[in-house]
A and B are shown apart, each in its own frame.
Chain A
Amino acid sequence: MTTPQPRTLYQKIWDDHVIAARPDGACLLWIDRHLIHEVTTPQAFQGLREAGRKVHRPDLTLAVPDHNVPTRFRERGINDPRSAQQLELLETNCEAFGIELIHMNAPDQGIVHVIGPEQGFTLPGVTLVCGDSHTSTHGAFGALAFGIGTSEIEHVFATQTLLSRPSRTMQVHVTGKPGFSITPKDVALAIVSAVGAGGANGHVVEYTGEVIERMSMEGRMTVCNMSIEFGGRAGLIAPDETTFAYLKSRPRAPKGTHWEQAMAFWSGLRTDLDAAYDKIVEVDASAIAPLVTWGTSPDQSAPVTAHVPDPQILPDKARREAACRALDYMDLKPGQPLQEIEIDYVFIGSCTNSRIEDLRAAATVLKAGGISERIQQAIVVPGSGAVKRQAEAEGLDKVFLDAGFEWREPGCSMCLAMNEDKVPVGLRCASTSNRNFEGRQGPGARTHLMSPAMAAAAARRGRLTDVREIVKS
């Protein structure tokens, strides 16, 4: 008998889900979990109807509306008829095809990537897909989770499988002791910047190292969430005691004997000692300062204490041109101190940073004082009904309201501005979301990405601010 080839965690999960492999390398992959929302599914359901197909395993699918939902005055319904139509279609389609739906007004509603883990629907070692690029979030649990398009959603509906091919592997190893007030978001932005916006294209990323091991599940979700911002097909973290403690007793997690069986399986979910990755990136967390983005790609970030970079010092023409265009869109000048950039809007929320720890971190900064008079609107959008209730039980809603923030209902909100929550043209937003793309938060809106604590600090002073000046160690 030959010794089995050492494998990475990714390769183990992949192999465990291959139903059939074609000679050309494409594999038919079993999908354990399918999360759906209202935006990327209408055409997939329509495709099923036109072909007379059913959903093969509706019991493995969970639906929740999040992208279009209003974050206030829900009792008044939805103003935009197109948004209302998408929500209505999600309801009627789920009803027709036998899929469980968490209704917009249900207590557990929330952002799909917040409620999946919260419900224990997301589990280690599973394949999990969703028509949303931030599906990488669920990799924090050691699930192979990735975003898919609508044609692939239809394929999963009809067969509970995907035709796919293995990705290459990348290890991102994070060591060192992060300094005071350095959060998982800062670690994520540092990784995105180090690898570059497309640096992990074609790769599944596994995060390792003491910094990752010490992170809470919330922190790990923030890091895995941002995997797509440097091109990662998925992000993965090997499950450990932190993972199991989070999942135990979640509504949809295994119970009793099933929990014991699951634990026995999950404990083998780690990369073998001698397994090789195709690429390795090392990140020293002790060197990370609180980061903010200055451009229109998530890899364009700098320490808040630094200046807007000069595009002319960049090594190649394409990057110089990209940086010039970004500064033009952002209305910034090379050499301008980042802390002099004034802010109009503040958004605390999104599948990156809307969980309880994020809200606690922001509230800590706001306890000592309210927001600047400059700020036109500051909103907190909790990731789910459960997060919202927990925050209210801790009195965080009071802290936010007293400081001058609005306390909203859960949804994707100002991260992508599909509902009413938009940043007006030309205005500048301190945002805890994941993308600073042109027009992402509204046509002509200017986005600076940062951690929840840093967004709260920006709200306090009305400009980009080093949170360490407000909250002392």
Chain B
Amino acid sequence: MEPVTQVYGTAIPFCRDNVDTDFILPGEYLKWVTREGLGAFAFKADRYLPSGEASPDSLFNQVEFAGAPILLAGDNFGCGSSREHAAWALSDLGIRVVIAESFGDIFRNNAVKNGILPIALRRGALELIGQVAASKPLLIDLENQSITGDNRVLARFQIDAFDKFCLLNGLDEIGYTESLMPDIAAYETNLAARKPWLQPSKSEA
């Protein structure tokens, strides 16, 4: 995973509440068996007309938002299905930061694991950012936990300390956990003695 430190650029104001991961990436693309190439289908129902042509009304199709690395969202962004394909699709679309009032828990985890910074802010702060972002680019600084635009700090944000550590370092979590294998082995040995009934075994009743 690429580290995330600072992100600078325009923000797409897609501020609906309860944008679910089905909407971010429809179920038909869950048949993909790779992580790449899903950006073309992100927000399909919004970006394309039923005929397959690009929708002229979609924010994602406006020339000023081409390549925008920041998504401004509403409340409960990424609710619903656990599909990491939604995070892969956003990443493939070039999104590095999503700013929302709140996130679905599974989506938030998936975002962090794909180098997308999820920032939760109160509605008032979101509205201020939206006003500035309408004409100016934003600078997101993860180290300082700040959002800057129009030469001023628009908001400071909270983030889980471990998520911040993972994002800043582009941490390989499995590699990190493997360094704790002695602890895991000790837990397993103890578990087998403590809960012998836990070992699955199939038998006909």
Contact = CB atoms under 8 A, between A and B. Distances in A.
B144 interface: no
A244 B140 CA distance: 52
A159 B76 contact: no
B162 A163 contact: yes
Interface string B30-63: 1111110000000001000010000000000000
A32 B35 CA distance: 27
B45 A438 contact: yes
A80 B181 CA distance: 42
Interface string B167-191: 0000001101110110110011001
A385 B26 CA distance: 28
A280 B96 CA distance: 36
Contacts of B184: 19, 28, 30, 159-161
B199 interface: yes
B28 A418 contact: yes
Given A149-B109, A265-B195, A80 B81 contact: no
Contact of A319 (B17, B33, B81, B84): B17
A34 to B, nearest CB: 11
A256 to B, nearest CB: 10
Interface string A30-48: 1011000001101100100
A39 B30 contact: yes
Nearest to B36: A43
B87 A149 contact: yes
B192 to A, nearest CB: 11
A439 B22 contact: yes
Given A19-B183, A149-B84, A259-B197, A197 B79 contact: yes
A159 B203 CA distance: 27
B110 A151 contact: yes
A228 B110 contact: no
Contacts of A215: none
Interface residues of B, number: 63
Nearest to A253: B205
Given A40-B82, A252-B202, A318-B75, A439 B30 contact: no
A169 to B, nearest CB: 14
A472 interface: no
B150 interface: no
Given A83-B31, A228-B80, A158 B202 contact: no
B27 A418 contact: yes
A198 interface: yes
A80 B105 contact: no
Contacts of A22: 162
Most chain A Cβ neighbours within 10 Å, of B106, B109, B161: B106
B65 interface: no
B167 to A, nearest CB: 13
Contacts of B75: 198, 318
Given A59-B199, A149-B82, A158-B178, A440 B183 contact: no
A437 B173 contact: no
A198 B45 contact: no
Given A159-B174, A198-B76, A150 B162 contact: no
Interface string A398-439: 000000000000000000111000000100000000010111
Contact of B174 (A32, A154, A444): A154
B34 A132 contact: no
A30 B35 CA distance: 27
B87 to A, nearest CB: 7
A312 interface: no
B114 interface: yes
Contacts of B82: 40, 131-133, 135, 147-149
Given A151-B113, A155-B173, A252 B161 contact: no
A26 interface: yes
A224 to B, nearest CB: 16
A202 B198 CA distance: 29
B185 to A, nearest CB: 10
Contact of A148 (B80, B109, B173, B191): B109
Nearest to B201: A252
Interface string A294-324: 0001000000000000000000001101100
Interface in A43-100: 43, 46, 51, 53, 59-60, 62, 67-68, 80, 82-83, 85-86, 89
A249 B184 CA distance: 31
A112 B37 CA distance: 28
B83 interface: yes
A159 B178 contact: yes
A15 B130 CA distance: 41
Contacts of B74: 318
Interface string A234-262: 00000000000000011110110011011
10 contacts: A19-B180, A19-B183, A24-B161, A26-B162, A43-B35, A147-B82, A163-B177, A197-B18, A229-B80, A318-B17
Interface of B: 16-18, 20, 22-23, 26-28, 30-35, 45, 50, 74-76, 79-84, 87, 102-106, 109-110, 113-114, 160-162, 165, 173-174, 176-178, 180-181, 183-184, 187-188, 191, 195-205
